[in-house]
Amino acid sequence: MTPETTASFAVRVVVAASLLLLALLVLIQWTSGSFNLLILIAQMIPLALTLPGQFNKSSRSMQWLCFVVLFFMVQGILLAFTPGRTWIGLTEAAICLILFFSAIIFIRASRKTA
């Protein structure tokens, strides 16, 4: 694969995983028993701020996304150890891993083309 095709595939995976993570955050709040819109918005803002850069294929935005997604990874791991919420926590952690590694692959491929 050329670096251009690798970068374009990685961007598609990043955008899909980001949207999936946003939907999962809504699901987590919805099923928590005490839906709090303020917490949901506070969780979604950092991830949503990187979305325009993801669509523009900005390497800087992907770097910030790597920092942001680590917080969601911690939340997923904590949820995985919560009784009754194991699967949703493992799902969040898996999405975060996919998102993190695909963003890193995009950054490396875009640097090779530059």
pLDDT score at 1: 78
pTM to 2 decimal places: 0.91
Q: What is the pLDDT of residues 3-49, one digit of tens each?
A: 889 999 999 999 999 999 999 999 999 988 888 899 999 999 999 99
Radius of gyration for the alpha carbons in the chain, expressed in angstroms and rounded: 15
Tokens of 48: 């949503």
- Residues contacting residue 23 through CB under 8 Å, at least 6 positions apart: none
| Residue 70: CB atoms within 10 Å | 12
Q: pLDDT (tens digit, 9 = 90+) per residue, 37-93?
A: 999 999 999 999 999 999 999 999 999 999 999 999 999 999 999 999 999 999 999
Instruction: Give the per-residue pLDDT at 87.
Output: 96
